[in-house]
Amino acid sequence: MNSSPNHKNQLLRRIRWLVALFIAGLAVSGATAIPVESEVDWLIRWLGIAPDDDGKGIAGWLWRVKTALHEINTKYPFIGYGGDWLAFGHFVIAIAFAGAWRDPARNIWLFEFGLIACALVVPYALAFGALRGIPWWWRLIDCSFGVLGAIPLWLCRRYALELKT
């Protein structure tokens, strides 16, 4: 393995770029958990879904979600507080990765923590999605966040191990 200062600087730049991408993904994901009702409304308008559309597939699912969100937010707005805390959790985890950005070799455990969390997304989404009646194809979308999140973390871990040599 190349241990020249130039190579180590290149590895550090790669890691920092990937960590910044991961932090941004967490922050955006968290931020989108807060205005979910207006986001679903926008998506339905953008896709041109009408209330009389077939109740199956994505159109039916999104209309069902829209209806539930409007009813819950009208009658029980405190339920949305759970989404606010979901967002908060994303922001806090993103902040933790600042340590990996600063000193990736010393904080390699953050990449390992993130990889474990990403791996757990898959069984969590599959099990709890089934329990909550989430369509299988939506659960696969949720699983993709864990799979896609693992890619930059795996690369960062690999590069950080190389930095240590």
Q: Note the pLDDT tens digit of each residue in 115-136.
A: 999 999 999 999 999 999 999 9
Distance from C-alpha of 36 to C-alpha of 39, rounded to nearest angstrom: 5
pLDDT > 90: percent of the chain: 87
The pTM of the whole model exceeds 0.75: yes
Tens-place pLDDT, residues 84-113: 999 999 999 999 999 999 999 999 999 999
Q: Which band of pLDDT confidence, cut at 50, 70 and 90, is reported for residue 56?
A: confident
* The pLDDT of residue 48 is above 80: yes
Distance from C-alpha of 15 to C-alpha of 51, rounded to nearest angstrom: 47
Q: Look at the block and give the residue holding tokens 């039916």.
A: 60
Residue 31's alpha-carbon distances to 28, 86, 110, 122, in angstroms, are 5, 9, 22, 22
Contact 26, 93 (CB under 8 A): yes
Q: Which band of pLDDT confidence, cut at 50, 70 and 90, is reported for residue 51?
A: confident
